[in-house]
Chains A and B, each alone.
Chain A
Amino acid sequence: SAVISQKPSRDICQRGTSLTIQCQVDSQVTMMFWYRQQPGQSLTLIATANQGSEATYESGFVIDKFPISRPNLTFSTLTVSNMSPEDSSIYLCSARTDRSYGYTFGSGTRLTVV
Chain B
Amino acid sequence: GENVEQHPSTLSVQEGDSAVIKCTYSDSASNYFPWYKQELGKRPQLIIDIRSNVGEKKDQRIAVTLNKTAKHFSLHITETQPEDSAVYFCAASKEGRRALTFGSGTRLQVQP
Task: List chain A positions with a Cβ less than 8 A from chain B.
Answer: 1, 31, 33, 41-45, 48, 92, 94, 96, 101-108
Contact = CB atoms under 8 A, between A and B. Distances in A.
Q: Is the interface of A mostly helix, strand, loop or mixed?
A: strand
How big is the B interface, by class? 20 to 34
B6 to A, nearest CB: 8
A41 to B, nearest CB: 8
6 contacts: A31-B97, A42-B104, A43-B44, A48-B99, A105-B44, A107-B42
Contacts of B32: 101
Interface of B: 32, 34, 42-46, 49, 51, 89, 93, 96-105
Contacts of A103: 34, 46, 93, 100
B9 to A, nearest CB: 10
Contact of B49 (A48, A94, A96, A101): A101
Contact of B99 (A33, A107, A108): A33
